[in-house]
């Protein structure tokens, strides 16, 4: 009886040269032939408006899938990313987890949202928000949904959409808020947290302030 050879684990993305500040969109390689490409490109453009990123990573591949189990997935090995996966059934890119993990890699294989000093005030602000889960939610779901990592993921995404120039992205956020979606907060409730997301990137030297002409 012959044993099947073990499948080799996917390789992590390589690093090259000295870390340098780049636009977020320079760090990811989008699936150009996927129907999701336009939406993903818009999401990266919105992130580019909020902050830059310092890294020595080669571009991280974004792979489109057809799974219904999850909207997006960030795969990693220790401190290095493997890829980001996004389902064509949901079209949510796992950029927020990638940012969190890579900002924390200087601390070891960890997540910046839970330990990095630059996130300290954000952690205080987000901990004051009431849980978005209904009272009957199970303990394991509540533990995951209200974890620091997941709170960062959702607050980062909402902060980026709040500053987006693309009217379709802003309309998407407005619709989620209007139906009281669990993954977003009401505008007034979220404002202090949104400000702390921006200040977090400011402490890291990566925040991109809104140009005066755009703010007018």
Per-residue pLDDT tens listing for the chain (216 residues) = 556 666 777 889 999 999 999 999 999 999 999 988 998 999 999 999 999 999 999 999 999 887 767 777 899 987 899 999 988 765 556 688 899 999 988 777 689 999 999 999 999 999 999 899 988 888 899 999 999 999 999 999 999 999 999 999 999 999 999 999 999 999 999 999 999 999 999 999 999 876 544 444
Report which of 179, 183, 177, 172 is spatially closest to residue 132, judged by C-alpha positions.
183
Instruction: Report domain extents, the chain.
Output: 15-206
Write out the two tokens for 167: 């009217």
Q: Phi, psi (5° rounding) for residue 164?
A: -65, 140
What is the CB-side half-sphere exposure of residue 199 using CA atoms within 13 A?
15
What's the rounded Cα separation, in Å, for the pair 198 and 156? 9
* DSSP bridge partners of 60: 28
Taking each helix axis from N to C terminus, what angle separates 187-203 and 148-163, rounded to the nearest 10 degrees? 100
């Amino acid at each position: 009886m012959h044993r099947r050879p073990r499948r080799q684990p996917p390789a992590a993305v390589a690093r090259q040269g000295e870390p340098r500040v780049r636009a977020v969109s320079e760090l990811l390689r989008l699936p150009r032939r996927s129907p999701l490409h336009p939406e993903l490109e818009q999401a990266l453009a919105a992130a580019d408006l909020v902050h830059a990123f310092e890294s020595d990573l080669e571009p991280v591949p974004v792979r489109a899938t057809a799974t219904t189990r999850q909207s997006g997935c960030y795969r990693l090995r220790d401190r290095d990313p493997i890829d980001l996966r996004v389902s064509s059934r949901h079209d949510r890119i796992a950029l927020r987890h990638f940012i969190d993990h890579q900002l924390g890699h200087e601390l070891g294989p960890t997540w910046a949202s839970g330990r990095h000093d630059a996130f300290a005030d954000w952690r205080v602000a987000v901990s004051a928000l009431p849980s978005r889960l209904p009272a009957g939610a199970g303990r394991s779901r509540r533990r995951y949904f209200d974890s620091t990592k997941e709170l960062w993921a959702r607050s980062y995404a909402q902060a980026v959409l709040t500053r987006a120039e693309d009217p379709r992205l802003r309309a998407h956020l407005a619709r989620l808020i209007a139906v009281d979606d669990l993954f977003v907060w009401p505008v007034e409730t979220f404002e202090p947290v949104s400000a702390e997301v921006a200040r977090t990137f400011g402490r890291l030297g990566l925040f991109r302030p809104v140009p005066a002409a755009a703010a007018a």
